[in-house]
Amino acid sequence: MFAISLGDDGAELRPLEPWQAEEFLTHMDRGREFVGQHIGLPDIVTDLDSARAYLTSYAEKAANDTGRLYGIWSEGTLVGGVLFRTFDVANGTAEAGCWLEPSAAGKGLITRACRVIIDWAIEERGIHRVEWHASTKNEPSIAVARRLGMTQEGVVRENYLYRGHRSDTAIWAVLAPEWRAAKTS
Ligand SMILES: CC(C)(COP(=O)(O)OP(=O)(O)OC[C@H]1O[C@@H](n2cnc3c(N)ncnc32)[C@H](O)[C@@H]1OP(=O)(O)O)[C@@H](O)C(=O)NCCC(=O)NCCS
């Protein structure tokens, strides 16, 4: 019902809620292998109950103002999403994240969607610092952080155990004054 246009290619950013669990699961099934290269989301969302539980956990975060989740629709099909895994208004910090199914990659959808939610967090909610955590091997994700004007602040070594392997996590972030300066330049 509520949608934000992501450009003239018809892509839209909309709330993604528990009642859409079936659509979310179908989308995840299309993207399971691609999405799961570096992150555990497809291993958490495996059937209708777990899809609904994941969306419900974000509905609860939204109700508590501690996180957000939005879907990206392209020509009416759910193809990915962006989220605030954490959202701490009192401290002015948040961590953003994202995923896409492979057919939607390479079109700038995530960069455009992230610009919308980060701008909302900074300008409307007073968030001072937005972080981005990505495996150091996840080049497409790091390219998104770079396009968003973020700076790499460090690498946390071997902190993420996923499918039996430990990976290093790069921490990127943008601060509110940097975000505003990039918008005006
Ligand atoms: C991370 C991920 C979402 C990045 O997807 P992506 O399609 O590369 O990112 P975007 O949607 O921002 O698109 C950027 C690409 O579109 C191109 N593009 C086209 N039009 C564009 C536009 N208007 N604006 C920005 N980029 C545009 C860019 O050049 C870039 O392509 P390139 O990498 O070949 O240079 C994707 O790889 C993914 O889902 N991976 C699996 C899940 C995951 O790892 N999530 C991140 C966890 S940290």
Task: Give the pLDDT confidence score for residue 69 in this predicted structure.
Answer: 98
Task: Tell me, using a 6 A CB cutoff, whether residue 9 lines ligand 1.
Answer: no
Token code pair at residue 138: 């996840």
List the residue whose alpha carbon is closest to atom 30 of ligand 1: 106
Task: Give the pLDDT confidence score for residue 185 in this predicted structure.
Answer: 84
List the residue whose alpha carbon is closest to atom 1 of ligand 1: 141
Ligand 1 atom nearest 147 alpha carbon: 25
In sequence order, the 6+-apart residues with CB closer than 8 A to the CB of 15 are 2, 69, 70, 71
Q: Measure 106 CA to ligand 1 centroid, in angstroms.
A: 5
Q: Is 0.95 topped by the overall pTM?
A: yes
List the residue whose alpha carbon is closest to atom 7 of ligand 1: 105
Structural domains of the chain, ranges and CATH numbers in brackets: 4-184 (3.40.630.30)
Asked whether 130 and 121 are in contact (CB, 8 A), the reply is yes
Residue among 32, 41, 144, 169 whose CB has most ligand 1 atoms within 8 A, to mutate: 144
Task: Give the pLDDT confidence score for residue 17 in this predicted structure.
Answer: 98
Task: Give the pLDDT confidence score for residue 8 in this predicted structure.
Answer: 85
Which residues of the chain have a pLDDT value below 50? none
Task: Tell me, using a 6 A CB cutoff, whether residue 35 lines ligand 1.
Answer: yes
Task: Tell me, using a 6 A CB cutoff, whether residue 15 lines ligand 1.
Answer: no
* CB < 8 Å & 24+ apart, contacts of 25-32: 25/51, 26/78, 27/77, 27/78, 27/79, 27/80, 27/101, 30/101, 30/103, 31/80, 31/99, 31/100, 31/101, 31/102
Q: Measure 138 CA to ligand 1 centroid, in angstroms.
A: 11
